[in-house]
Amino acid sequence: MAGQLSARAAGGRAIGIQLYTVRAEMLADARGTLAQLAALGYKEIESASSAKGHYYGLSAKEIKKITRDLGLTLRSSHVQVDEHWPRTIDEAAEAGQQYLICSTMPSTGQTASNYERVADVFNQSAEACRKAGLLFGYHNHEYEFEQENGQIFYDILLAKTDPKLVHMELDLGWVVAAGHDPLRYFERYPGRFPLWHLKDVKRDKAVSTELGTGRVPLAQLLKKAPQAGLKHFFVEQEEYEKSALDSARRDIAYLRQLAY
């Protein structure tokens, strides 16, 4: 019974976690850390690139089996669009995941022209994912909300990418840290944000903290999930008061008590 409750907490949606939250633990013991996350009640996993590859030293086949045996869904992973892109797609398909999320800009340059070029790259990358049965997306940080001549770079990505192909993963914490309101984006671009990172940031600086203790109005934002097009969310915390797993425990406890 407890497992059923934890699987459908927080408004009836499965609770996911980005493995970067427990990156050191995953590098030290990937199998054991996944088991601990499952025991805490997490049900969906988003992996991330690491010194040991996209699955913290596990092969695509291994992480597929381990997560399934633990009752976890490997939903997504953070990758880079680079010269290894075809192999990255093949690996993700073998792992059985649904999304491939580009986690950093594939080219540097805080200019409108660079963001327009990147939008073209994203459209092409998304088409390659579609052919492999995958969905492509992009995860923002803080720098995409800088401007040139009054034009916000993130808005260029939204305007120039195909909404049927490029699925935005909105990191709520970074949007707020950049001085913007996620609700504005839900209103202007409804349905564009099927994936979220649930990240809270401290009130006095752009440092992540346990959910519900910072300045990101998570409960208010979750009430607008239908407008945003939300399908899956992942807890992500990068700094901790005690330890990564202790924060992961506190984060899921917070989400379980939300009503929206």
In angstroms, the CA 130 to CA 250 distance is 37
Cβ pair 107, 122 in contact under 8 A: no
Neighbours of 254 (CB within 10 A): 19
Angle (CA) 73 14 69, round 5°: 30
Instruction: For residue 214, give the DSSP letter.
Output: S
Report pTM: 0.94
The secondary structure of 109-149 as a DSSP string is --SHHHHHHHHHHHHHHHHHHHHTT-EEEEE--SGGG-EET
In order, the DSSP letters of 27-60 are HH-HHHHHHHHHHHT--EEEEE-BTTBTTTT--H
For residue range 85-115, list pLDDT tens digits in order.
999 999 999 999 999 999 999 999 999 999 9
**Is the dihedral angle over the CA atoms 10, 15, 18, 21 positive or is it negative?**
positive
Domain layout of the chain by residue ranges: 2-256
Cα torsion angle, 73, 76, 77, 78, sign: negative
DSSP character string of 230-246: --EEEE--SS-SS-HHH
Average pLDDT over the chain, rounded to whole?
Answer: 95
Cα atoms found within 13 Å of the Cα of residue 255, Cβ hemisphere only: 33
Q: Identify whether the C-beta of residue 134 lies closer than 8 Å to the C-beta of residue 92.
A: yes
The CATH H-level (homologous superfamily) assignment of domain 2-256 is: Divalent-metal-dependent TIM barrel enzymes (3.20.20.150)
How confident is the model at residue 11, as a pLDDT? 61
pLDDT at 4: 40
pLDDT at site 12: 74
Q: Are 9 and 197 in contact (CB under 8 A)?
A: no
- Counting as low any pLDDT under 50, the low residues of the chain are 1-7
For residue 13, the model assigns a pLDDT of 84
**pLDDT at 260 (0 to 100):** 63
